[in-house]
Structure 1
Amino acid sequence: MFKKVTIQADQRGLLFHKGSYVKKLIPGTYHYLLWSQPTVVVLNIAKPFVVEGKDLQLFLQDEDLLRELDIVRVQDHEYVLHYEDGQFVQLLKPGVYAYWSILKKHTFLHMDIRKPELPAEVDRSILPKLTANVQSYEIASYESGFLFYDHVLQRELSPGKYYFWRGPVSVMVKTIDLRQQQMDLIGQEIMTEDKVTLRLNFVCQYKIVNPLRALEMKSFDEQIHIQLQLMLREYVGTLKLDDLLKRKEDVASFILSRLREKGEEFGVQFLSAGVKDVILPGEMKDILNTVLLAEKKAQANLITRREETASTRSLLNTAKLMDENQTLFRLKELEFLEKICEKIGSISLTGGGDLLERLSSLIGEKKAAGK
């Protein structure tokens, strides 16, 4: 009794006798006696070389078999990119792999993941297939980045996108915003020299010019915030309330000059600063409003007296002119009569005589009758 085994052109056979590997079988038909207990494993050469239940090392002693196999060993600190006929297939993790070299050309690109950054020879178009093994960081055009391996600073990163292997080395990227920024101090309670407690809203604008120095400082924003508080207290504490209200711009100039002295220490260029609001206690507001109202009333009275004096002086000058010039006096009389006539519905005159004199006498009679 015979056992018949047929191996196709796209196949190879592995002959085992009593469980032990004997040799490779090329395409063809084979007959074996059943009593010899032969076993033939048929493999498709378009697929990886894998024999279920058998370790690969068992077959690597067969020189004839090795001539048709590509063997790749991936070390513990490596990833290997596997390509078939120039097309990426998969990423190989540590281990030993075998592929039939008969139908396809296999190439392998070894990556040392102890150096996490992906080298330039890795085609970025395959990265979507490697998301489980690759992490990325992006530095915007207005940012500066800093690369850390295992919490140790490596270098500064310019704007762009960077890719790193997920492996034994911890990778971290920190970014610093280089755009103009604003810091607001809201409702800072400060006591003036004359013991008035008020609240200030203050603002300053700045840009980070030394990102590494800013990165080295713990709680960078908080430290700038505290410096602003201290400087405000230092300056406002030397002023009385009236002086502070008159010299708000001087406060900003003083704080800005002091901040610029600290600029190099913080790695920052301070651009501008200013007092937005001075908020007074309710009682102080009432007092200031009363003072302001009194000042405005005094100013109004002064203006009224000035106008009255000017009006009296004008009347005196007019009287002197009319006394010296009869024509002007007569014109003034006519103007006076015109205003009176505006109040009278009609006037009837009989007889002769000068119209102006008769009107004058008429007015005189009306005044006498009124008495």
Structure 2
Amino acid sequence: MFKKVTIQADQRGLLFHKGNYVKKLIPGTYNYLIWSQATVVLLNIAKPFVVEGKDLQLFLHDEELVRELEIVRVQDHEYVLHYEDGQFVQLLKPGVYAYWNMLKKHTFLHMDIRQPEVPAEVDRSILPKLSVYMQSYEIASYESGFLFYDHVMQRELSPGKYYFWKGPVSVMIKSMDLRQQQMDLIGQEIMTEDKVTLRLNFVCQYKIVKPLRALEMKSFDEQIHIQLQLMLREYVGTLKLDDLLKRKEDAASFILSRLREKSEEFGVQFLSAGVKDVILPGEMKEILNTVLLAEKKAQANLITRREETASTRSLLNTAKLMDENQTLFRLKELEFLEKICEKIGSISLTGGGDLLERLNSLIGDRKAAGK
């Protein structure tokens, strides 16, 4: 005739009569008449307070029950981090939650997601478990970052990793590279003063020193690119082709000085610049090659004539000295005889006298014949 209900030490009972909550039951044994329409719902106090099919608000008028519960209300603009005995358990979204406070100590950390940045008191080791509810950004060691909420800049960020709640406020981070950078202008077609169209390859190195100023400019790289183009046209357009080829190195100094006038405007330190290549049209190349070849031939002819003149002058000077000095003339004869002897394998002479006397007589006979 009775139905028995036993409540264990780690349980609590909730008594209902005709579906309406009556009171909380502590551990023990309870007997109820079968027809009494009394029902008991058993709850494990190690688990959250949840009664299937019943709203939590139905039980909160029971002061005795509420004393054994931790009630946490999560607002629409909040996330709440739930800890049991100091260990992170879960993230609570907007709503009302209840937990038994007998076996475990429950603590709750409220996060206002209208302020998206995750505060420092949140242990970074639990953040991977919350990846669904947050977003992260990294600023490299060579970068400077800028934080925007709803497209309004908040502050500059130093290198590091930052975490933000996903919520009603949109978060965006823009970063600027502070390393030395290079910009190349490839194949820029420019006309010289004498109407020769050529192509230039130009290079410029720079470094961003005021990242916020650079960030405020739309299409920052493109604007520097355009400035380089205009300055090159300004420089090349005032020179004839021959002058440009002679003063190619001066272009770097001119462009660099003009760029440095724009440093404050761009928030950039311009470090160096230079012309890599000057590319001429095909016909102009042929003309210049012809001119260069003619110049080199003229230089070669001039050198040849200079050497011939010097050789002739040397012979003339030698002839004058020998004419004035018979001993020198005789020495020159002996030198000539020595060279002849080096090239002759054997000499046959008839008659008396030694070799030297006979050679001398030959030379003397030739000299007399010449007179």
Question: Relative to 1, partners in 2 of residues 1:347 and 1:368: Cα closer, same or farther, differing over 3 Å?
Answer: farther
State the secondary structure of the residue aligned to 2:277: strand
**Once structures 1 and 2 are overlaid, which stretch shifts more, 218-227 or 347-356?**
347-356
SS for the counterpart of 2:132 is coil
- CA deviation profile, 1:138-185 (whole Å, cap 9, x unmatched): 111111111000011111111111111111100000001111111110
Q: 1:34 to 1:366 in 2, by over 3 A?
A: farther
Q: 1:338 aligns to what?
A: 338
Aligned ranges for residues 1-371 of structure 1 at < 5 Å? 1-353=1-353, 355-361=355-361
Query: What is the deviation of 1:365?
Result: 9.2
Per-residue Cα deviation, 1:37-64 (whole angstroms, up to 9, x for no partner): 1111111111111111000001111111
Deviation at 1:279, TM superposition (A): 0.4
What percent identity do the matched residue pairs reach? 92
CA distance in 2, matches of 1:364, 1:185: 82
Change (3 A) 1:368 1:90: farther
Specify every segment of 5 or more residues in structure 1 that has no aligned partner in the other structure, as ranges. Answer: none
Give the ranges of 4+ consecutive aligned residues of structure 1 lying more than 4 Å apart after TM superposition.
360-371
How many residues align? The count is: 371
What secondary structure, in the 3-state scheme, does the structure 1 residue paired with 2:283 have?
A: helix
In structure 2, what is the Cα distance between the partners aligned to 1:206 and 1:275? 15
Output the CA distance in 2 between the equivalents of 1:11 and 1:363.
Answer: 146
Stretch of structure 1 that moved more, 262-271 or 194-203: 262-271
CA displacement, residues 183-215 of structure 1 (integer Å, 9 cap, x when unaligned):
110000011110100001111111111111111
Alpha-carbon shift at residue 359 of structure 1 (Å): 2.4
Shift of 1:357: 3.7
Matched position secondary structure for 2:201: strand
Q: Find the aligned partners of 1:160 and 1:49 in 2 and give their Cα distance.
A: 41
Shift in alpha-carbon separation, 1:368–1:316, aligned structure 2, 3 A: closer
Aligned-pair distance for 1:330? 2.8
| Secondary structure, aligned partner of 1:342 | helix
| CA deviation after TM superposition for structure 1 residue 361, in Å | 4.7
Task: Report how far residue 307 of structure 1 moved.
Answer: 0.8
Structure 2 CA distance for aligned equivalents of residues 203 and 3 of structure 1: 93
Which segment drifts farther, 339-348 or 262-271?
A: 339-348
Any idea what SS the aligned residue of 1:345 has? Answer: coil
**1:344 Cα deviation from its structure 2 partner:** 2.2
CA distance in 1, matches of 2:12, 2:321: 138
Q: Distance in 1 between matches of 2:367 and 2:53?
A: 142
For the residues of structure 1 that align with 2:227 and 2:304, how far apart are their CA atoms?
A: 52
Q: What are the superposed Cα offsets for residues 48-105 of structure 1, whole Å, 9 maximum, x if unpaired?
A: 1111100000111111111111000000000101110011111111000011111000
Question: How far is 1:314 from its partner?
Answer: 1.5
**Aligned equivalents of 1:357, 1:185: Cα separation in 2:** 85
Cα distance change of structure 1 residues 112 and 90 upon mapping to structure 2, 3 Å threshold: same
CA separation of 1:66 and 1:358: change in aligned 2, threshold 3 A: same
Aligned partner of residue 110 in structure 1, secondary structure = strand
Q: Distance in 2 between matches of 1:68 and 1:179?
A: 60
Give the Cα–Cα distance (whole angstroms) in 1 for the partners of residues 331 and 3 of structure 2. 152
Cα drift, residue 34 of structure 1: 0.5
**Deviation for aligned residue 1:354:** 5.0
Q: Report deviation, 1:367.
A: 13
Q: CA offset at residue 235 of structure 1?
A: 1.4
SS of 1:334's equivalent in the other structure is: helix
SS of the residue aligned with 1:154? strand
Task: Write the distance in 2 (CA, Å) between the matches of 1:78 and 1:334.
Answer: 119
Determine helix, strand or coil for the equivalent of 1:132.
helix
How far residue 342 of structure 1 moved from its aligned partner, in angstroms, is 3.1
Report deviation, 1:269. Answer: 1.2
Over 3 Å counting, the alpha-carbon distance change for 1:235 and 1:260 in structure 2 is: same
Task: Name the TM-score, length of structure 1 as normaliser.
Answer: 0.95
Deviation (angstroms), 1:114:
0.2
Q: Deviations over 1:338-368 (max 9, x none)?
A: 2222332211345543533412555799999
- For 1:253 and 1:67, locate their aligned partners in 2 and report how far apart those are by CA, in whole Å: 82
TM-score by length of 2: 0.95
Question: How far apart are the structure 2 equivalents of 1:324 and 1:367?
Answer: 16
What is the CA distance between 1:15 and its match in structure 2? 0.9
SS in 1 for 2:199: strand
Name the SS for the 1:131 alignment partner. Answer: helix
Q: Unpaired runs of 5+ in structure 2?
A: none
CA displacement 1:254-282 (0-9 Å, x = unmatched): 11111111111111111111111100000
